[in-house]
Chain A
Amino acid sequence: MPGPLPVSDVLLRTQRLSLEYTGADGSTISALRDVTLELQPHETVGILGESGSGKSSLSHAILRLLPPNGKIISGKIEYSGEDILALSRRELRQVRGAGIALIAQEPALALNPVLTIERQIIDVLRAHRRVSKQEAMEQTRAMLREVGFTDPERIGRAYPHQLSGGQRQRAAIAQALICNPRVLIADEPLSSLDAVTQAEILELLEKLKRDLHLSMIFITHNSGVLSSLADRVAVMREGEIQACGTLEQLARGTDEYVRALMFPEKNIPTRSSSIASLAASTSAEPLLRLDRVSKHFLQRRFLSRNVFQVQALKNIDLQIAEGASVAIIGRSGSGKTTLARCVAGFERPDEGQILFSGSRSNDRSEIQLIFQDAGSALNPRFTAAEAIREPLDIARRLSFPQRQERALQLMEEAGLDSAWAGRKVGEFSGGQRQRIAIARALAAEPRMLILDESLSGLDLPLQAQILRLLMDLQARHGLTYLHITHDLNFLPFFADQVVVMDQGTIVETGTPATLLESPQPVTKSLVAASERLHVAGMEVAL
């Protein structure tokens, strides 16, 4: 870590900043403890940390955007020599957006759903500058062009729900940069985007940083994306800065926590050959077989009788052997989730047939689906035991004590302490909730699990832990896995077959190793994006 800088060189500095939240019961939770961070002009500082490490709290504290129960208890925040904590509300509003701008997480939630994009950008501009309507419109369109839109007029008039995830993030970036701020705080700007879009947004931020001479604080749980962007990285843990330095310096360090964040793949064992051979030996009759499956959806506009047909799946042929682990990769909207829903029996294909262990029956209780967000897939008011027991309660094959016993057993199997059985689902963390969802799925004694983006909401180290659990369970129960994913994180570790989808069709099938050399354009763009993002664990396939 370089020595302390002369004050004039520092653009933004937090000095021994401490922050507390007050809980509903009056207890206090410490979110930041003595955080000292300096940002020089034109510098990019990455903040790396797990969820709950306080990185978002830090970004909000800098702009004093804390919820009513959050309080800065000590420390200082200085922006170009001004004490942010001493500013009046009016002065603070001038810093927000014009001096320091924030790109919040989840562009889908950070844009107002009932206002057009240009209106949202113009409002920011007019909050800081006295400009005529005409000028405001011109500057807005120029900014939209700057963030990569070729048709700013059309995008400007659109509402957020009419745009794709990547377009929304570009619009949010345009909104943040319209007043030429000197500092940009990007809080997990790549979350919930597919790999190709992530790479595009990352490239855009690098370009804007150069062109607009921005200083940037880039908050992420994914160290890979920092390698091309960040001059320095601060690793946060439980509200404190655990380590600071360049990525190379950090990689050479010995700190366990930092290493788990930087090399999450080290936590996953390589797939044992016994499973792969099991998959090969039972190849006579595949467990799941899709023959020319097609599915379309009808959409209708309000006040109109015109019906649009959206082709979600086109002539899908797929065979999955018992015990295999198959990954379906593709961009958002490629039909992956529709395929998973058809396989799980939630949707009926319009054409073609789906055979599960040789039967056409639509009863697919032997297939269980695990969703992306366990927080919304599980009832937060259930206790862990109730959530896991529910499939058993519905089946009623066992007596109540037996069912309870089995639920506790499943908790242990999913790596949860069965002493927590009485706690409400809502009290668990994201990774723990995903473990509960897995235990619940196992309660139905499935032969196949569909993991629909089940890991993408989690931090990389957590993803590695859950993958490890899944592979453990697969070896023990001989399960078949169908992973649906939009990024290639850890792909070579868990998948022995990879299916690439685009616009409702399968464009390529292969293994993780063949994929990397594939000439197929869709596959190539996915691989290129993953390399750009330094996706964890890619090198294993080579």
Chain B
Amino acid sequence: MIGYLLRRIGHGLFLLLGVSLLVFLLMQAAPGDFFSTATLSERMSQETVHALRAQYGLDQPLPVRYVRWLTSALHGEFGYSFSYNMPASALLLPRARNTLLLTVPSLLISWLIAVPLGVFAAWRRVGWIDRLYSGGTSALLGMHDLLLALLALMLALHTGVFPTGGMSSFSASGTLLTDWKDLLWHMALPVSVLVAGSVAPILRHVRSSMIEVLDSRYIRAAEGHGLGPLTVLFRHALPAAANPLISLFGLSTALLLGGSLLVEVVMSWPGLGPMVLEAILGRDMFLVVGAVMLSTVFLICGNFLADLLLYVFDPRIRLDA
């Protein structure tokens, strides 16, 4: 087990190294750099631009820059942002935390809603409940995140109950409790939008996976032994249907950092998404590389989490044939 963990971590580090190299090469292939616009500016002399490039090390060949970046990564800085004049990690980490404040609750809430609803929809798969279910999920699937976010903003504007954007009020700065309440109040709308956008596909997966299991002989046998519907659905059928859902859960954690970009932009949430978008447009190279690395870490961890969950939940994997 320990050996397996170490091997997985080794694979992960190797993957990170490969991804960083790839991003470096791609950024190199794109024309221009952060100071390209400055070259066109009349107020800045060519000498100054050259001096700036030299100061930030951009005049060095690619291998040297890559090795320098690696050293700074080992020091926990992950390069330097040109536009903010700060180490990339110091910029990215608080932003990533803000994004996770939105995406982690919305992921958990989506699953908490989708699993029982999906189980119920699978159980009652004919009649009006089914029609309600398929109509509802189709409507949600058809609606773009952007539209949902705009609808939420309209709601905020017309009712005045919720804030229209941002993460905190100017007025709120007092005890820890009021700060938290203020934060939750600001989170409510963006999280709801994210949940509405992600709940339908999960619901569909839960339902179809459950239907397959409910049709199986062992569920019919369990009913034949006189087990009640709750025991049959949640103790016998759901664990047997969990396998593909766990893989889906693992994959969805990979979206934790990037999935909320549009909502962050529209609802002016100070998350990672808007900053990275800006960094890409402005050729703020190390910020981009750092963000990609963070996403890769989440992807690796998500897959690892899914494997561990499968290992815990599925005895066929745990104990081998």
Contacts A124-B227, A305-B3; A104 near B221 (Cβ below 8 A)? yes
Q: Please name the residue on chain B nearest to A63 by beta carbon.
A: B224
B224 near A159: Cβ-Cβ < 8 Å: no
Q: Select which of A65, A97, A113, A123 is within 8 A of B220 by beta carbon.
A: A65
Q: Please name the residue on chain A nearest to B8 by beta carbon.
A: A303
Interchain nearest-CB distance for B91 vs A (Å)? 38
B220 near A93: Cβ-Cβ < 8 Å: no
Give the docked Cα–Cα distance between A161 and B126 (Å). Answer: 33
Give the docked Cα–Cα distance between A152 and B33 (Å). Answer: 72
A112 near B225: Cβ-Cβ < 8 Å: no
A96 near B225: Cβ-Cβ < 8 Å: yes
Give the docked Cα–Cα distance between A305 and B320 (Å). Answer: 13
Interface residues in B217-237 (C-beta closer than 8 Å to A): 217-228, 231, 235-236
Interface residues in B183-230 (C-beta closer than 8 Å to A): 216-228
Interface assignment of B240: CB less than 8 Å from any CB of chain A? yes
Interface residues in A475-504 (C-beta closer than 8 Å to B): none
Q: Please name the residue on chain A nearest to B237 by beta carbon.
A: A112
Interchain nearest-CB distance for A535 vs B (Å)? 27
Interface residues in A112-129 (C-beta closer than 8 Å to B): 112-116, 120, 123-124, 127-128
Q: Please name the residue on chain A nearest to B216 by beta carbon.
A: A109
Interface assignment of A95: CB less than 8 Å from any CB of chain B? yes
List residues of chain B with CB within 8 A of the CB of A176: 225
List residues of chain A with CB within 8 A of the CB of B236: 112, 115, 120, 123
Interface assignment of B170: CB less than 8 Å from any CB of chain A? no
Interface assignment of B321: CB less than 8 Å from any CB of chain A? yes
Comparing B13-21, B259-267, B308-316, the segment that makes contact with chain A is: B308-316
Interface residues in A90-114 (C-beta closer than 8 Å to B): 93-98, 101-102, 104-106, 109-114
Interface assignment of B4: CB less than 8 Å from any CB of chain A? yes
List residues of chain B with CB within 8 A of the CB of A101: 224-225
Interchain nearest-CB distance for B293 vs A (Å)? 28
List residues of chain A with CB within 8 A of the CB of B220: 65, 104
B218 near A302: Cβ-Cβ < 8 Å: no
Interface assignment of B1: CB less than 8 Å from any CB of chain A? yes
B239 near A114: Cβ-Cβ < 8 Å: yes
List residues of chain A with CB within 8 A of the CB of B126: 68
Interchain nearest-CB distance for A537 vs B (Å)? 31
Interchain nearest-CB distance for A187 vs B (Å)? 10
A110 near B221: Cβ-Cβ < 8 Å: yes
Interface assignment of B67: CB less than 8 Å from any CB of chain A? no
A207-234 near B? 1/0 per residue, CB < 8 Å: 0000000000000000000000000000
List residues of chain B with CB within 8 A of the CB of A300: 320
Interface assignment of A301: CB less than 8 Å from any CB of chain B? yes
Interface residues in A141-176 (C-beta closer than 8 Å to B): 159, 161-162, 172, 175-176
List residues of chain B with CB within 8 A of the CB of A95: 226
* Chain A contact residues, CB within 8 Å of chain B: 63, 65, 68, 93-98, 101-102, 104-106, 109-116, 120, 123-124, 127-128, 159, 161-162, 172, 175-176, 179, 299-305
Q: 5 more A-B contacts (CB under 8 A) besides A68-B126, A113-B315, A176-B225? A: A93-B228, A102-B225, A110-B217, A113-B240, A299-B321
